[in-house]
Amino acid sequence: MSRPDAKTNYRESERIAHQAFINGIRAVQAKIVDSEPWIELNGEYVMMFDWIDGVTLPAEACTFERGKRIGEILSEIHSLAISIDGLEFPTFSTVSADTWTRNIENARRDASCWGIPCETILQDVTNWSRLYQDAVDNLSRKYVISHRDLDSKNVIWNNEGVPYLIDWESAGYVNPTVELIEVALNWSRSNDRAVNKQRFQGVIQAYLEAGGMLHGNVMDAVYGSFGGMLGWLEYNMRRSVDKDVFGTDDRELGRREVIHTMKELKKLNQSVSDYARWAANISGQYHQ
């Protein structure tokens, strides 16, 4: 918790988890000790949670039925209208062209560019950033407080198949349709990272049947899902080359994450129209 705002972020995220819990969501909360969601031991901050006897699943191991259950839960969270006093509304600006250029030039000087031509990287990331920013400008101004990282790694399924939601530290304001698209993509991946249409649509159908709604243009929501990946990519570009801040192992991990995230963004960009059409088809069937 070395960042100045880290304690505030953890306090707020645990308040969100608590609000979800008392409203019927199986949210795994940190234990509160002396009014804080952590204890300090030998200068280290430790958060404690109830033990859930179960497993998390890789995305490719998630079944159609489990994806539908997650769609239902996401709709339930969005319907709660959670309100947290003092919670800051996020800015949805993209990474600037100057920042991308600086990171890529640093990699070029380091004789690295992650095995990809630097010019290709710059062209791709500036294009994706423009598409993301255009989508954010067009998106519905409807926002809810939600989990914001409801990937398969953050759901524990107990021995009876009941899901428990963990790792709420990313919780905050989000456009509900953008989060729905992100969740549907994660819960419909196959072993080769391809998106399974039936499972993707299953998440969305379950969300709609549970009372959720698609807000605004679905294509904008898909492009709006680029934001988290672009931020992660920019961080790992810096992590992979900054020897003053990051050690050798950290830089190597950053390098691998840059390569992986670039591939994922390329795949996502190539399939945007398909995902938007799949989602719109389900929405159209539901509201006919």
**CA 165 from centroid of its chain's CA atoms:** 14
**Environment class of residue 87 by beta-carbon count within 10 Å: exposed (0-12), middle (13-18) or buried (19+)?**
middle
Closest by CA position to 128, among listed 217, 215, 231: 231
- pLDDT value, residue 4: 59
- Residue 1's pLDDT is 57
Give the C-alpha separation, 184 to 197, whole Å: 10
Structure tokens at 250: 């950290």
pLDDT tens across 94-136, in order? 899 999 999 999 998 876 779 889 899 999 999 999 999 999 9
- The residue among 125, 135, 144, 134 whose CA lies nearest residue 224 is 135
Greatest C-alpha distance within the chain: 61
Q: Write down the pLDDT at residue 3.
A: 63
- The string over 230-247, giving b where at least 16 C-beta atoms fall within 10 Å of a residue's C-beta and e elsewhere, is bebbbbbbbbbbeeeebe
Long-range contacts of 85-89 (CB under 8 A, 24+ apart): 86/12, 87/12, 87/16, 87/145, 87/172, 87/173, 89/143, 89/173
The Cβ of residue 106 has, within 10 Å, a number of other Cβ atoms equal to: 16
Could you tell me where the beta strands, DSSP code E, fall in 6-165? 39-41, 44-46, 54-55, 144-146, 155-158, 163-165
**pTM for the full model?**
0.91
Cα end-to-end distance, the chain, whole Å: 50
One digit per residue, pLDDT tens: the chain, 288 residues? 556 588 999 999 999 999 999 999 999 999 999 999 999 988 889 999 999 999 999 887 899 999 999 999 999 999 998 999 989 887 777 899 999 999 999 998 876 779 889 899 999 999 999 999 999 999 878 899 999 999 999 999 999 999 999 999 999 999 999 999 999 999 999 877 889 999 999 999 999 999 999 988 899 999 999 999 999 999 999 999 999 999 999 999 999 999 999 999 999 999 999 999 999 999 875 544
Tell me which residue of 29, 49, 27, 35 sits closest to 7, measured CA to CA.
35
Using CB atoms within 10 Å of the CB of residue 259, give its burial: 0 to 12 exposed, 13 to 18 middle, 19+ buried: middle
Beta strands in 19-124, from DSSP E residues, in sequence order = 39-41, 44-46, 54-55
DSSP bridge partners of 155 = 165
E strand intervals along 4-148: 39-41, 44-46, 54-55, 144-146
Domains of the chain: 56-287 (3.90.1200.10)
Task: Identify the bridge partners of residue 33 per DSSP, sorted by sequence position.
Answer: 36
